[in-house]
Amino acid sequence: MAKRRTLTVASVNVNGIRAATRNGISSWIADRGADVVTLQEVRATDDIFTTHVDDLWGASWHRMHAESEAKGRAGVAVVSHLPIAAGRIDIGGTAARFNRTGRWVEATFDPDATGLDAPLTVVSAYVHTGDADDESRMEEKLSFFDAMTTRMQYLRRGGRHVLITGDFNVGHTTRDIKNWKGNRNSAGFLEVERAWFDRWFEELGWVDIARSIAGDVDGPYTWWSFRGQAFDRDVGWRIDYQVATPDLAARATDSHVDRAPSYAERWSDHAPLVVDFRI
């Protein structure tokens, strides 16, 4: 048997796994054949999630799921045909209140499973949407970024590879939002939110894989409103990310947004972000 030379990781906000199943996610799963898939906005209990994973990927696939205590809200997961050596829902530190909100889950893989030279921790994160007119909602979002950053820095200690994936609900630069001028005072493009990304990429050395591969271009966008003609006109936002430690990012050979061929063929308002890594 030929040795596998690529590790493919896909990340997508499914906008409800039950709705995504009804709308055709199974075709994308079969065609893409990713090794690891991270999901956001699963919006399901553990038992419903397990049933859908068994039906969509197969009962032999490994999974970690963090459901939200708020019924029908949030929820994140990692699904993999590679065995998961360890999993964690606790984001750590003083941010225990986030552990019941379905916004953070980790899956760690041994080198024997991935073919990499060190353990790999993959995170699925779903950051709050926020509301520029609601101070408490913005404080919750910014507090999550604070906890997230602390945990990210902890995870990278000891030489492991770390990949933080998910829907971060922020466009980092003007290249990441088609209508950025009209959203300068909107949650998702506020300077106070974008400053966290500046810190990750400029101060702490994390790598935004999609941007590093695409270069200085508009997008590629990962989310389009269901309203109006946003999808058809490609009036989108790049708010889904795969952020890696430098050594892992150096192994990335391709980054691609699996944008649906047409509005009618969409099974979520987000499109999957897929990255291939050389192993």
> Is residue 179 situated within a structural domain?
yes
Which residue, chain included where needed, has tokens 């209508």? 179
Question: What pLDDT was estimated at residue 137?
Answer: 96
**DSSP category for residue 147:** H
Question: What pLDDT was estimated at residue 1?
Answer: 40
- Distance between CA atoms of residues 176 and 68, nearest Å: 29
Question: What pLDDT was estimated at residue 208?
Answer: 98
Question: What pLDDT was estimated at residue 178?
Answer: 97
Beta carbons of 37 and 76 less than 8 angstroms apart: no
> Is residue 120 situated within a structural domain?
yes
Q: What percentage of the chain carries pLDDT values higher than 90?
A: 95
> Is residue 117 situated within a structural domain?
yes
Beta carbons of 168 and 187 less than 8 angstroms apart: no
> Is residue 1 situated within a structural domain?
no
Q: What are the Cα distances from residue 87, in Å, to 78, 98, 109?
A: 9, 16, 9
Residue 2 has pLDDT above 80, yes or no: no
**Average pLDDT score over residue span 165-189:** 97
Question: What pLDDT was estimated at residue 61?
Answer: 98
> Is residue 2 situated within a structural domain?
no
- Phi, psi for residue 155 in degrees, rounded to 5: -60, -35
Domain span at residue 265 reads 8-278
Residue 4 has pLDDT above 80, yes or no: no
| Predicted confidence (pLDDT) per residue in 13-42, tens digit | 999 999 999 999 999 999 999 999 999 999
- What's the pLDDT band for 76 if we cut at 50, 70, 90? very high
Residue-level length of the chain? 279
Residue 161 has pLDDT above 60, yes or no: yes
- Distance between CA atoms of residues 24 and 259, nearest Å: 14
Residue 38 one-letter amino acid: T
> Is residue 185 situated within a structural domain?
yes
What token pair was written down for 23?
């709308």
**Which helix (H) or strand (E) covers residue 96, if one does?**
none
> Is residue 138 situated within a structural domain?
yes
> Is residue 3 situated within a structural domain?
no
- Distance between CA atoms of residues 262 and 158, nearest Å: 45
Residue 9 one-letter amino acid: V
- Domains identified in the chain, total number: 1
- Distance between CA atoms of residues 65 and 83, nearest Å: 15
- What are the strands, taking DSSP E only, across 81-152? 86-88, 104-109, 120-126
- What's the pLDDT band for 158 if we cut at 50, 70, 90? confident
| Predicted confidence (pLDDT) per residue in 207-245, tens digit | 999 999 999 999 999 999 999 899 999 999 999 999 999
Closest CA to 99 of 34, 161, 146, 144: 144
CATH of the domain at 232: 3.60.10.10
Q: What percentage of the chain carries pLDDT values higher than 70?
A: 99
State the Cα angle at 178 between 175 and 181, rounded to 5°: 90
Q: Whole-model pTM?
A: 0.96
